[in-house]
């Protein structure tokens, strides 16, 4: 008898509710098949929360997340709120929730499905076997360092500072080693240690932490080389760990290996096993309400939740296998369809995947 896991479900705006509804069907199916028990509770967040509660992140939604073992988030935002003042914008809620929940890393898998290789701009033989995860530090580095402008003899000068302390590097390094342990036990730590002092501290710290993970093979890759190798031999990577700005750029580069934004899952993690799981895409206002969005990114985010927060690897495998099977059978939503006339809708895709989940 397994214990009951609490999941806060926050559908959000635009296509958020459509794709989250399909992910909830997947949760239900895995309960039936694998005997896991989930208790879901829904909360308002983003634009809809602004409309109904006057704030993008209502206190009760935050408390709901804090009580939960994991959060499943759809997407927030849309043109309706674009011209609102900062405190009444959906993105302010996103930043607020990450901060309040202490989420310091962002995890993005990039998996190339054989049958979707035609959706990528790279040659199929280069993409063969690509299945990697980028672990990006989310709360430090140059994005959060002191920034200012000053007058100099040569005119105005702008300064951004990049800072990392040892404990910030330690916690993300440990998380990446733990994830690598559940996969092929290969970790690439990406830095610019030939020029940056923060990178030298990063590398020293990662090496020290690696002593606790002798079963994981560690390599250090300079960020410029990593950017090239991701395009040249992406399948040689398994888990990549890096600082905030490098991770921002490399995770977007890795995402493009796979072809479509409708396929990409993500997790944001803090201390312990708690995590927030969401598709990489936004609320897609251009197609919202039509029932044609691709639910796979959100469904794969559930699989990621099973792996990283609950350790339910068997159920995660089953979900990923079901997605592959449905794609292999030729079913496509509009965003990944070559022949748009044959595209199926959000619900149909969700139902096909649910039906394909087997023990």
**Of the residues 224, 328, 340, 342, which is catalytic?**
224
Residue 117 contact among Mg ion, ligand NAI, none, beta carbon within 5 to 8 Å by kind = none
How far, in Å, CA of 32 to CA of 160, rounded? 52
Binding-site residue numbers are 78-91, 98, 108, 136, 224, 248, 252
Instruction: Supply φ then ψ for residue 236, to 5 degrees.
Output: -80, -10
Question: Of the two residues 62 and 187, which places its CB atom closer to ligand NAI in the complex?
Answer: 62
Active-site residue flag, 252: yes
> Contacts with Mg ion in 142-181 (CB under 5 A)?
none
Of 118 and 286, the one with the shorter C-beta distance to ligand NAI is: 286
Q: Does 335 bind ligand NAI (CB under 6 A)?
A: yes
Query: Is 248 an interacting residue with respect to Mg ion (CB under 5 A)?
Result: yes
Strand order of the β-sheet with 37-42 is 37-42, 4-12, 70-75, 275-279, 265-269, 105-111, 131-137, 239-242, 186-191, 217-222
Residues binding ligand NAI: what is the number (CB under 6 A)? 22
Q: Does 173 bind ligand NAI (CB under 6 A)?
A: no
Complex with ligand NAI: residue 145 or 285, whichever CB lies closer: 285
**Residue 115: CB minimum distance to ligand NAI, A:** 17
Segment interacting with ligand NAI (CB under 6 A) among 53-61, 168-176, 285-293, 310-318? 285-293
Given 61, 120, 265, 293, the residue binding ligand NAI (CB under 6 A): 293
Return d(Cα 299, Cα 27) in angstroms, integer: 9
Residues at the contact surface with Mg ion, assessed by CB under 5 A: 248, 252
Which positions are annotated as active-site residues?
143, 192, 224, 248, 252
Residues at the contact surface with ligand NAI, assessed by CB under 6 A: 15, 19, 75-78, 91, 94, 261-262, 278, 281-287, 293-294, 297, 335
């Amino acid at each position: 008898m397994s214990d009951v896991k609490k999941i806060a479900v926050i559908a959000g705006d635009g296509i958020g509710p459509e794709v989250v509804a399909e992910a909830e069907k997947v949760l239900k199916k895995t309960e039936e098949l694998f005997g896991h028990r989930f208790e879901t509770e829904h909360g308002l967040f983003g634009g809809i929360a602004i409309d109904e509660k006057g704030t993008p992140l209502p206190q009760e939604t935050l408390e709901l997340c804090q009580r939960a073992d994991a959060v499943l988030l759809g997407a927030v935002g849309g043109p309706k709120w674009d011209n609102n003042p900062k405190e009444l914008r959906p993105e302010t809620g996103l930043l607020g929730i990450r901060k309040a929940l202490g989420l310091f890393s962002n995890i993005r898998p990039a998996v190339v499905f054989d049958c979707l290789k035609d959706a990528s701009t790279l040659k199929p033989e280069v993409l063969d076997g690509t299945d990697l995860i980028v672990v990006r530090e989310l709360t430090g580095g140059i994005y959060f360092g002191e920034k200012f402008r000053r007058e100099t003899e040569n005119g105005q000068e702008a300064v951004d500072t990049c800072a990392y302390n040892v404990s910030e590097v330690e916690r993300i390094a440990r998380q990446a080693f733990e994830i690598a342990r559940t996969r092929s036990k290969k970790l690439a730590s990406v830095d610019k240690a030939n020029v940056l002092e923060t990178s030298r501290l990063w590398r020293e710290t990662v090496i020290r932490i690696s002593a606790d993970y002798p079963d994981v093979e560690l390599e250090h890759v300079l960020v410029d080389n990593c950017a090239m190798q991701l395009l040249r031999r992406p399948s040689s990577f398994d888990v990549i760990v890096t600082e905030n700005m490098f991770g921002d750029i490399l995770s977007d580069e890795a995402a493009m290996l796979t072809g479509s934004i409708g396929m990409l899952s993500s997790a944001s993690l803090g201390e312990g096993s708690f995590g927030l799981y969401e598709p990489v895409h936004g609320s897609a206002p251009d197609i919202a309400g039509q029932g044609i969005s691709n639910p796979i990114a959100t469904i794969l985010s559930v699989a990621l939740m099973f792996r990283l927060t609950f350790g339910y690897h068997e159920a995660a495998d089953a979900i990923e296998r079901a997605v592959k099977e449905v794609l292999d059978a030729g079913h496509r939503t509009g965003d990944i369809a070559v022949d748009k006339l044959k595209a199926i809708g959000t619900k149909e895709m969700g139902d096909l995947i649910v039906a394909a989940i087997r023990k």
